[in-house]
Amino acid sequence: MKREFYNAANKYAKHGWSIIPIGRDKKPALRTWKGFQSKRPTDKQLRQWFLDGQGVRGQVTGLAAVCGDVSGDLVVRDFDSMEAYQAWAKAYPKLAAKLPTVQTARGRHVYFRNGHSRIEVMNDGELRGKGYVLLPPSIHPTGVLYDWIVPLSNGPLPEVPDPAVAGLIAPKKSPSSRETQKTQKTQENTENSSGKEKRVTVKSPAPPGARDSGESLDSIIDRTIPRSKGCRHRGCSDSAVPSKQCPNMPTSPQRNSAQSYNDGTRQPCRSFPQSHLKKRSWISTMHGKALNMLRENHRWI
């Protein structure tokens, strides 16, 4: 088999393919084959590997072609089962008769040229634009001999411009409306970050002002006091707006109303968790901020 492997390797090399030796485990029989993903081996190296047994690990039981641009954009569709291949061949009979095809232990390998440079995994096999594929007359670990059932011609390998159109790969799904919206949002954010100013008009909800023009300050405090964490500043704002509508506003609401909480003469709101409340200090803070807002904006004191 040594001479047969060498002759086959020499033939495939004339097609411009990068050829490497394969061991019993279907793995490269070289310490490293990374270099041959970008550079094809010389005839001297092929002779050493397949005839002299130099530079290889263990017994050579086959050979493989490295897929991708190093082998002239070689791409192989690996059908894992005969059923999958037969279904494709029935749907695309002209391509099935034209594209070089190899019998494998389980299914078929279909060879063609394309710029595909990665491995696409599908439920019935793979599309290999990267990695390697075993070539005839390699021997599978089960004893099955790889063989051409659609021969490889001496001319250029047929090209398949779009594997999806040829049924060799699942067509790309059209983006859903949700994905489209997400893409548009990403593009808008990109444009904004590139220097374009994004102006967003946010309509804030109306503050809970006094429902009755005669609402007292004590009522406003009870209605706007925070009921949970993180609401203190909102409570200050909500209390300041209706406070200006109070009739007979006292000259010192911080003392007349807020201080009554500090003195303990009024009971804290039952619906507010005592562990979070600290109500007395909050009342002073709230009215201190409210008074500052009113002094600055309304000048009523």
pLDDT in tens, 266-292: 444 444 444 434 444 555 555 566 556
Are residues 254 and 129 located together in one domain of the fold?
Answer: no
Q: Which residue has the higher pLDDT, 182 or 176?
A: 182
Domain stop point among 95, 117, 150: 150
Domain-embedded: residue 278:
yes
Q: How many independent structural domains does the chain possess? A: 2
Are residues 16 and 133 located together in one domain of the fold?
Answer: yes
Are residues 16 and 138 located together in one domain of the fold?
Answer: yes
Is the alpha carbon torsion for 9, 10, 12, 16 positive or negative?
positive
Are residues 135 and 19 located together in one domain of the fold?
Answer: yes
What secondary structure, in 3-state letters, does 247-271 show? CCCCCCHHHHHHHHHHCCCCCCCCC
Are residues 144 and 224 located together in one domain of the fold?
Answer: no
- The pTM assigned to this predicted structure is 0.58
Rounded mean pLDDT, 15-25:
95
Residue 120 has pLDDT above 70, yes or no: yes
Residue-averaged pLDDT of the chain? 77
Are residues 53 and 128 located together in one domain of the fold?
Answer: yes
Are residues 146 and 42 located together in one domain of the fold?
Answer: yes
Are residues 111 and 251 located together in one domain of the fold?
Answer: no
Residue 205 has pLDDT above 70, yes or no: no
Domain-embedded: residue 177:
no
Domain-embedded: residue 161:
no
Domain-embedded: residue 62:
yes
Range of weakest confidence among 66-80, 89-103, 238-252: 238-252
Contacts of 39 (CB under 8 A, 6+ apart): 18, 70
**Domain, as residue range, for 257:** 217-297
Q: Can you give the pLDDT at residue 290?
A: 59
Are residues 132 and 235 located together in one domain of the fold?
Answer: no
Domain stop point among 121, 150, 179: 150
Residue 296 has pLDDT above 60, yes or no: no
Domain stop point among 150, 184, 201: 150
Contacts of 167 (CB under 8 A, 6+ apart): 88, 91, 92, 95
Q: Provide the percentage of residues in the chain whose pLDDT is more than 70.
A: 61
Q: Which residue has the higher pLDDT, 128 or 172?
A: 128
Domain-embedded: residue 131:
yes
